[in-house]
């Protein structure tokens, strides 16, 4: 692998930024300064130091973001703050959100440059579970819960797939539930609640497959996934089937 690609993959800067640093002699390989960006290294063995810090090669990065309301799920937007703007320190090329949360939806968003995992998690054939905490206007009767669980007509060709509802304590005439779905249709939760005569007043994603929003992660913050969280997600996508 070329030295400049290694440093870009490590999210240390753009190709031109890392090249400048290399040319200034601030990068060494196995203790020897290297000034050629196209230097070929063995990324699994060579010890690369960038401005005095040594780095072990990683191809893929995985972050959990606690998305706040008011930011859009996009990699860039001319007018609005995007979820990627909330990860400035790690925001390198190829990192993108897995799936989409509406602007007013909060909660768990996975951000990665592992396109294969993202693709599998989003694949309609994999039926990966997503759990949302939903507050809505008063519609949650035994009948509407039954409809939500067994499939509702949200205006698409097919009814929604079976879902799970866990009714939560309710207050001041509004209702709250945890809704687990295995699809990712556009505005799906809001449309499901509408289909049974209500409207969502607050929506937060709690989990995506095996990955759960970290209770200790403040809104607007992010953290890298642990090795276990990454391997559990990978394992899930190999066993979850049509």
Residue closest to 91 by CA, chosen among 199, 192, 14, 28: 14
Q: What is the CA radius of gyration of the chain?
A: 22
Task: Give the separation between CA 135 and CA 178, rounded to whole angstroms.
Answer: 9
Q: Is 104 a catalytic residue?
A: no
User: Should residue 208 be labelled a site residue for ligand URA when binding is judged by CB under 6 A?
Assistant: no
Nearer to ligand URA, 11 or 194 (CB): 194
User: Should residue 160 be labelled a site residue for ligand URA when binding is judged by CB under 6 A?
Assistant: no
Annotated catalytic residue, options 46, 102, 214, 232: 102
Phi, psi dihedrals of residue 112, rounded to the nearest 5°:
-155, 165
State the burial class of residue 18 (Cβ atoms within 10 Å of its Cβ: 0-12, 13-18, 19+). buried
Nearer to ligand URA, 105 or 240 (CB): 105
Task: Give the separation between CA 208 and CA 231, rounded to whole angstroms.
Answer: 14
User: Where does this chain touch ligand URA (CB under 6 A) — which range of 1-9, 79-87, 140-148, 181-189?
Assistant: 181-189
Which residue in the set 65, 145, 152, 189 belongs to the binding site for ligand URA (CB under 6 A)?
189
User: Should residue 183 be labelled a site residue for ligand URA when binding is judged by CB under 6 A?
Assistant: no
Nearer to ligand URA, 5 or 185 (CB): 185
Structure tokens at 37: 């960006």
Instruction: State the DSSP H helix or E strand holding residue 53, giving kind and residue range, or none if neither.
Output: strand 53-55
Which residue in the set 2, 5, 187, 234 belongs to the binding site for ligand URA (CB under 6 A)?
187
Binding site for ligand URA (CB under 6 A): 101-102, 105, 187-190, 203
Q: Which residues are catalytic?
A: 102
């Amino acid at each position: 692998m070329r030295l400049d690609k290694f440093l870009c993959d490590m999210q240390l800067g753009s190709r031109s930024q890392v090249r400048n640093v290399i040319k200034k002699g601030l990068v060494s390989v196995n203790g020897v300064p290297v000034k050629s960006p196209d230097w070929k290294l063995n990324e699994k063995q060579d010890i690369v130091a960038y401005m005095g810090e040594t780095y072990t090669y990683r191809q893929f990065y995985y972050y959990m973001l606690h998305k706040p309301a008011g930011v859009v799920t996009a990699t860039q937007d001319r007018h609005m703050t995007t979820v990627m703007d909330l990860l400035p320190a790690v925001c390198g090329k190829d990192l993108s959100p897995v799936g989409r949360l509406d602007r007013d939806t909060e909660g768990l968003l996975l951000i990665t440059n592992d396109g294969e995992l993202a693709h599998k998690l989003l694949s309609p054939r994999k039926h990966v579970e997503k759990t949302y905490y939903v507050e809505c206007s008063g519609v949650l009767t035994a009948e509407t819960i039954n409809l939500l669980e067994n499939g509702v007509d949200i205006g698409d060709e097919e009814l929604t797939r079976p879902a799970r509802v866990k009714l939560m304590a309710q207050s001041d005439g509004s209702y709250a539930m945890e809704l687990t779905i295995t699809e990712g249709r556009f505005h799906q939760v809001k449309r499901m609640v509408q289909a049974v005569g209500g409207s969502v007043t607050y929506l937060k994603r709690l989990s995506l497959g095996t990955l759960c929003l970290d209770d200790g992660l403040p809104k607007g913050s992010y953290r890298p996934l642990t090795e276990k969280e990454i391997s559990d997600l990978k394992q899930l996508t190999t066993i979850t089937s049509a």
